[in-house]
Amino acid sequence: MLRFCKVLILFFAPVAALAGGFDINLQGIRQQGMGNTGTGLLQGSSSLFYNPGAVSLLKGNFHFQGGANISAFNAVYYDPVSDITARTKDRYTFPFSVYADARVSKFMSVGMAVYNPNGVDIYWDNNWKGRFLVQNTHLQTTNFQPTVSFKLSDKLGIGAGFIYSVGTAQFTRDIPVSDASGSRSFIELSGKTTGIGLNAGVFFKPDDVWRFGFSFRKGVNYKIENGDVVITVPPSVQSFFPENTKFSGAIPGPDVYNVGFSAQLSKRFLIAGDVNYQTWSSFKRQDIDFTENTAEFEDISQPVFWKNTTSLRIGAQYLRSCCLSFRAGAAFEQSPVNRVYYFPDMADGNRFTFHAGFTYDFDDHWSVDLASMLIETKQVEGNYSPSGFRGVYKTRTVVGSFGISYVF
């Protein structure tokens, strides 16, 4: 029989990526009820996000809006050639938004907005087929946006805000090494993101019926410096990985161009529409730079080649009585994800979204806003061609939202 002696070995290099940026689209409970239209709408202080130009044209001298959401995301993966299905674990996220603005002179308003613009939370089943590409991805970002808005005339407002963004990102994937007990080896990257951006807009209301808006948001480049790297492998191969490495990387958020209108068709009935164009194509590669490398552990540059997208939104509002208004809306949102670079931490497809909401006004100042939202992605056949990982994906997100508005 054969006999064996000592042979030195080397090890697999893990490759990793960070999450793609996803728009959360939960920045205003009232707008959420109307298909996330908002560029051409006056719905209170949340205009700080949707169109800073509108803020100075809001009725009243002080506005506050706060919103809280509970969002449940589920994705399913199906491989038709092996008849294998995988799902994401149930994850609930709680995006929020807080807005306040005040008129400081006849022509000028100032405001502060805090909201979660981008995020993703995908936790695939343990042991799923794609675990060597991604096991978990988490990205949560919060923007702080001090804003100033000028009322150039009774019909025209402009405004702009500076965005400072902070957040957390985390990514886990399995490393293809196992010991006799089959315990899992993996790499986990985690870090804090920071970035800056800009939000500016123009709002025009020529008469009592029509409102038009244009806004532009400069994409935040979510940078991670000095992120933590945890590598869990069997002890005998630890020496193939650096002992204390950190990483840096970035996730480029897109520039967003919004055009919108609304029309007060009657005293009770309002409709709105929005078109958004987003320059996701700046997200070409996911680069991870480790401070320490070894022959088996190198920096990462994964192609993703996202595409620019357009979204179309419509919404309507019906005022039933003095104090109760109902809303409904729908939207079609193109997916930026490239089907031949479909990385499963970005499980996404063209989305159809359905919205409903209502507001109850307690008095002239206080009101409570509720909304719910269903986001369905079309079934997508994706292939991460650099790794040969194919499958069919579909996602569903259900959101329930609660908010408070105050005007004085």
Partner 1 sequence: MMTLFSLHRTWLFVAAGATVLLSACEPEIKPNTSGKPFSSGKTNVTRIVSVGGDYLSGMTDNEQFKSGQESSVAAIVAGQLRKVGAGVFRQPLMFDEYGLDTRVRLSRQNDCLGNEELTVIPYGIGDGRNSQNIGPNGPYNNLAVPDARVADLNTNSYGGSNPYFARFASKTTSSIMDDAQLIDPTFFMLWAGDRDVYGYAENGGNVGLNAPSITSVTNFRNNLETTIQKLVSRGAKGVIANIPSISSLPFYTTIPYDAIELTADQADQLNLIYAANPNLVFREGKNPFVINDGGVFARFARPSEYIRITINLDSVKCKGYGSFTALPDQEVLSDNEIADVNQAIERFNGIINELGVKYGVPVFDANTLFANINRVGINFDGITYNNQFVIGGFISLDGVHPTKRGNAIIANEIIKLINDRYAAKVPLCDINLYPTVEIP
* Residues engaged in binding partner 1 (CB under 8 A): 1-12, 70, 72, 74-76, 78-85, 87, 90, 127, 129-133, 176-180, 182, 233-237, 323-324, 358, 360, 362, 368, 370, 372, 376-377, 379, 381, 384, 386-389, 392, 394-396, 398-400, 402
CB of 387 to partner 1, least distance (A): 5
Which of 210/362 has CB closer to partner 1?
A: 362
The dihedral over CA atoms of 378, 335, 199, 143, expressed in degrees to the nearest 10, equals 70
264-298: b (≥16 Cβ within 10 Å) or e: beeeeebbbbbebbbbbeebeebebbbeeebebbe
Query: Smallest gap, in angstroms, from Cβ of residue 362 to partner 1?
Result: 6
Task: Tell me how many degrees the CA angle 272-395-74 measures, rounded to the nearest 5.
Answer: 110
Cβ distance to partner 1 smaller for residue 129 or 218: 129
CA-CA distance, 44 to 55, in Å (whole number)? 8
Minimal distance in Å, beta carbon 392 to partner 1? 5
Nearer Cβ to partner 1, position 87 or 284? Answer: 87
Least gap, CB of 125 to partner 1 (angstroms): 12
Rounded to whole angstroms, the Cα distance separating 375 from 28 reads 16
CA distance 99 to 117: 14
Least distance between partner 1 and beta carbon 339 (Å): 14
Whose Cβ is closer to partner 1: residue 76's or residue 312's?
76
Token readout for 344 is: 């499963």
CA 250, 336, 37 angle in degrees (round to 5)? 105
Q: What amino acid occupies position 321? A: S
Closest distance to partner 1 from the beta carbon of 240 (Å):
9
Q: Which is nearer to partner 1, 291 or 294 (CB)?
A: 294
Q: Which is nearer to partner 1, 49 or 384 (CB)?
A: 384
